[in-house]
């Protein structure tokens, strides 16, 4: 199979998508705006303005995605499967891959994915878990989605290729002088191609390397954001609208805002050097006045005095147009409230509504990131099973050995991300307080507060309630905490305090550690003080006093 020709066909087919991605990059990097006429030519004598709003929007979204909390969840109906061991394996594998990238000076996996899903609308990874000289290497290389070419099959990728530019010196260092001699000029496109049986490396149209592998699948994960409707509306050039970036709703608004700003600034400058009319006393329109001003244009119109040219209603029209475009821009990106430009107080319901609108920007990116990491994790598990035996992973000083036997079985792997905002959380707490009399606590955790782990939160709440309702439960927890502190820090004072509390419970520390809970004997009533009143209040104070008097009489007095 001639992968070079297949890649060239993909490049041609995706030319419109490539133009779209370039337009997004220009917005992100604040490419200098130039006001042009209908023919596409630059208009002269214009003060061109490039506003920073796309860059601010992009920085806010990527920062928020980077701060999202990550949670890996492994679940199985088979109780014998140690899901925590699998989660630990995946965490350490990703940590190893990130460290490998960090040592090479490359972006880490999740930050790279955040930027890609925001500005490209897609990304990919080459996933290789292998052993070299008895050492496990987790080699996960992120690929820029703009330069990834592929074909899908029934069960994932049939093949995937990554295009990048390399200098002649880099080619010589990797493939030798003979291969480097084929490079025309100083740079060449290199294509790293993978399918389910082998790997090929092409320099331009020349194949320099071919290596077989035993994975049984294409070791590349690809994920596209599900926005843009390209694959759903299969019109001509549908690829242009597949996997949209965060700019897709403001892509046409940004140039218009820059155009308006440029026009307004040019009008301001023209006001400073306003154009003048000169009524020539000789009646020749082409003649200029002998005392022509240094700044501004002068138009000669005949006899009379010098007067300014009226610019009409340009500024009023500009204000109306700005209001329209500002509304459209905020609907398609961030609002002033999101970036903190509005300081007026808002109700809890209003803040939650604002947060839900902002989630429309985040959620498709986070969903794509979740699926990307899930696919990466499943691929790592498959490759680990092929290695078999023991796999050592983790940071230096914190390495762990994992038995691949514990990775066997049927289970699901999911990654979850949660974007939290203190303002929105406080607003949700206000709504939760109002909902408390009407809804169960688990419903409030799940649907009102939207916590990451509602079931876990319910368990923690039950523990807290148990400690509040039972002093013995609270004492037991304190004793266990003190014992842990004494053991970890060799804290003798904590050990003594635990011993004292155990004595108050009428138990030994060994019994508490072993979980042996002995029932406490009931307290004996104090002599002379009945547990309950012998008589009710019906007899009144006088009757009670009379009975007490009878109890202390001698037998003779009683007669």
Residue 351's pLDDT is: 44
155 pLDDT above the threshold of 60:
yes
Residue whose tokens read 């148990």: 466
Residues in the chain: 559
Q: What is the per-residue burial (b if ≥16 Cβ within 10 Å, else e) of 224-236? A: bbbbbebeeeeee
- Reported as a single tens digit per residue, the pLDDT across 471-497 is 888 888 888 888 888 888 888 888 888
pLDDT at 544: 45
Judge whether residue 297 has pLDDT over 60: no
Q: How far apart are the first and last CA of the chain?
A: 126
- Calpha distance 264→49 (Å, rounded): 10
Residue 480's contacts (CB-CB under 8 Å, 6 or more residues apart) are 512
- Determine the pLDDT at residue 134: 80
- For the segment 444-457, what is each residue's pLDDT rounded down to a tens digit? 877 777 777 787 78
Average pLDDT over residues 17-30: 95
Residue 410 has pLDDT above 70, yes or no: yes
CB atoms < 10 A from the CB of 420, how many? 13
Q: How confident is the model at residue 177 (pLDDT cuts 50, 70, 90)?
A: confident
CA separation for the pair 450, 428 (Å, rounded) = 8
Smallest CA-to-CA distance from 293 within 276, 315, 318 is with 276
- State the pLDDT confidence band at 421, using cuts at 50, 70 and 90: low
Asked whether 89 and 384 are in contact (CB, 8 A), the reply is yes
**At residue 349, does pLDDT exceed 70?**
no
Contacts of 277 (CB under 8 A, 6+ apart): 298, 299, 300, 301, 306, 307, 308, 309
Task: Give residue 287's pLDDT.
Answer: 54
Question: Between β-strands 69-75 and 122-132, what pairing exists: parallel, antiparallel or unpaired?
Answer: unpaired
Nearest to 264 by CA among 207, 196, 317: 317
140: left (phi over 0), alpha (psi -120 to 50) or beta: beta
Q: DSSP E strands: which ranges in 168-232?
A: 187-195, 198-203, 206-212, 220-224
User: Which conformational region is residue 312 in: left (phi greater than 0), alpha (psi within -120 to 50 degrees), or beta?
Assistant: left
pLDDT, tens digit (0-9, with 9 covering 90-100), for 96-149: 999 999 999 999 999 999 999 999 999 999 999 998 888 889 999 999 999 999
Question: Which of 84-98, 193-207, 231-245 comes out lowest in average pLDDT?
Answer: 231-245
Check residues 370 and 511 and name the one with the higher pLDDT: 370
Q: What letter does residue 38 receive in the DSSP assignment?
A: T
The pLDDT value recorded for residue 543 is 46
- pLDDT per position as a tens digit, 256-282: 999 988 888 888 787 766 666 555 566
Question: Residue 449: what pLDDT?
Answer: 75
Q: What is the model's pLDDT at position 503?
A: 85
Q: Are 165 and 150 in contact (CB under 8 A)?
A: no
CA-closest candidate to residue 66, choices 358, 417, 422, 449 = 417
CA angle 466, 470, 472 (to 5 degrees): 115
- Given this model, what pLDDT does residue 374 score? 95
Range in 3-12, 53-62, 221-230, 492-501 with the lowest mean pLDDT: 492-501
As a whole number, mean pLDDT of residues 144-161 equals 93
* pLDDT in the model for residue 555: 47
* Contact call for residues 394 and 96 (beta carbons, < 8 A): yes
Average pLDDT over residues 527-537: 48
Q: What does the pLDDT average to over 366-372?
A: 92
Q: What is the pLDDT of residue 559?
A: 47
Neighbours of 198 (CB within 10 A): 11
Instruction: Report how far residue 243's alpha carbon sits from residue 364's, in angstroms, rounded to the nearest whole number.
Output: 10
For the segment 374-388, what is each residue's pLDDT rounded down to a tens digit?
999 999 999 999 987
Q: What's the pLDDT at 423?
A: 63
Q: Using one digit for the tens of pLDDT, what is the confidence trace for 312-327?
A: 566 677 778 778 888 8
List Cβ neighbours of 541 (8 Å cut-off, separation of 6 or more).
none
Q: What percent of the chain has pLDDT over 70?
A: 78
Mean pLDDT calculated for residue range 397-424: 82
Q: Which pLDDT value is given to residue 60?
A: 85
Q: What is the mean pLDDT of residues 55-64?
A: 88
Least confident of 54-63, 144-153, 475-484, 520-529: 520-529
What average pLDDT does this structure show over 182-191? 88
pLDDT band at 227 (very low <50, low <70, confident <90, very high): confident
Which pLDDT score is estimated for 222?
A: 96
Rounded CA separation 454/444 (Å): 9
Q: What pLDDT band is residue 296 in, cutting at 50, 70 and 90?
A: low
Nearest to 381 by CA among 372, 391, 370, 371: 391
Q: DSSP secondary-structure letter at 437?
A: T
Phi, psi of 192 (to 5 degrees): -100, 110
SS3 for 491-541 is CHHHHHHHHHHHHHCCCCHHHHHHCCCCCCCCCCCCCCCCCCCCCCCCCHH
Inter-residue contact 3 to 209 (CB < 8 Å) = no
Burial of 220 from C-beta contacts in 10 A (0-12 / 13-18 / 19+): buried
Q: Between 64 and 111, whose confidence is greater?
A: 111
Whether the per-residue pLDDT at 181 is higher than 90: the answer is no
Beta-carbon contacts of residue 1 (< 8 Å; ≥ 6 apart): none
- Segment holding 446, helix H or strand E: none
Q: Per-residue pLDDT for 185 more than 70? A: yes
> Which residue, 291, 252, 246, is CA-closest to 57?
246
Strand ranges across the sheet with 307-308 = 298-300, 276-278, 307-308
Under 8 Å CB-to-CB from 497, ≥6 apart: which residues? 482
pLDDT of 342: 45
Model confidence band, residue 354 (pLDDT cutoffs 50, 70, 90): very low
On the question of pLDDT at 336 being above 60, the answer is: no
**Residue that wins the pLDDT comparison between 431 and 32:** 32
């Amino acid at each position: 199979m001639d992968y070079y020709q297949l890649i060239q066909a993909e490049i041609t087919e995706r030319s419109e998508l490539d133009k779209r991605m370039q337009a997004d990059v220009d917005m992100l990097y604040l490419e200098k705006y130039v006001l042009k006429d209908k023919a596409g030519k630059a208009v002269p004598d214009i003060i061109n303005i490039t506003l920073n709003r796309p860059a601010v929007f992009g920085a806010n979204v990527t920062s928020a995605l980077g701060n999202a909390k990550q949670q890996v969840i492994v679940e199985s109906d088979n109780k014998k499967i140690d899901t925590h061991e699998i989660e630990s394996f995946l965490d350490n594998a990703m940590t190893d891959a990130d460290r490998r990238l960090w040592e090479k000076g490359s972006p880490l996996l999740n930050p790279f994915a955040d930027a890609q899903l925001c500005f490209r609308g897609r990304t990919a990874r080459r996933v290789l878990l292998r052993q070299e000289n008895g050492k496990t290497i987790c080699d996960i290389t992120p690929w820029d989605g703009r330069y990834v070419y592929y074909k899908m099959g029934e069960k994932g990728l049939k093949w995937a290729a990554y295009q990048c530019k390399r200098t002649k010196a880099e080619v010589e260092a990797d493939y030798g002088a003979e291969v480097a001699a084929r490079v025309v000029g100083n740079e060449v496109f290199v294509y790293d191609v993978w399918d389910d049986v082998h790997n090929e490396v092409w320099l331009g149209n020349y194949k320099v390397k071919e290596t077989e592998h035993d994975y049984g699948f294409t070791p590349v994960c690809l994920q596209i954001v599900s926005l843009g409707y390209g694959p759903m509306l299969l019109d001509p050039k549908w690829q242009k609208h597949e996997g949209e970036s965060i700019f897709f709703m403001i892509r046409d608004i940004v140039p218009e805002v820059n155009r308006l700003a440029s026009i307004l600034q040019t009008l301001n400058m023209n006001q400073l050097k306003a154009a003048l009319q000169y009524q020539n006393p000789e009646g020749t329109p082409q003649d200029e006045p002998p005392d022509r001003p240094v700044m501004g244009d002068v138009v000669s119109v005949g006899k009379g005095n010098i007067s300014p040219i009226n610019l009409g209603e340009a500024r009023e029209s500009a204000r109306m147009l700005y209001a329209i475009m500002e509304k459209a821009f905020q609907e398609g990106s961030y609002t002033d409230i999101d970036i903190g430009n509005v300081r007026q107080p808002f109700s809890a319901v209003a803040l939650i509504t604002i947060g839900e609108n902002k989630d429309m920007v985040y959620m498709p990116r986070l969903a794509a990131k979740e699926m990307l990491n899930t696919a990466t994790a499943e691929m790592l598990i498959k490759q680990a099973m092929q290695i078999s035996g023991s796999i050592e992973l983790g940071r230096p000083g914190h390495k762990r050995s994992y038995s691949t036997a514990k990775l066997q079985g049927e289970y699901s792997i999911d990654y979850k991300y949660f974007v939290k905002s203190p303002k929105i959380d406080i607003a949700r707490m206000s709504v939760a307080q109002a909902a408390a009399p009407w809804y169960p606590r688990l419903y409030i955790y799940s649907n009102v507060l939207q916590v990451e782990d509602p079931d876990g939160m319910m368990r923690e709440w039950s523990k807290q309630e148990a400690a509040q309702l039972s002093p013995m439960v609270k004492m037991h927890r304190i004793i266990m905490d003190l014992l842990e502190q004494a053991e970890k820090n060799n804290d003798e004072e904590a050990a003594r305090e635990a011993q004292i509390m155990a004595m108050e419970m009428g138990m030994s520390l060994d019994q508490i550690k072993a979980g042996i809970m002995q029932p406490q004997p009931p307290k004996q009533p104090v002599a002379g003080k009945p547990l309950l009143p012998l008589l009710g209040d019906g007899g009144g104070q006088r009757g009670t006093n009379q009975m007490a008097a009878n109890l202390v009489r001698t037998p003779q007095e009683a007669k």
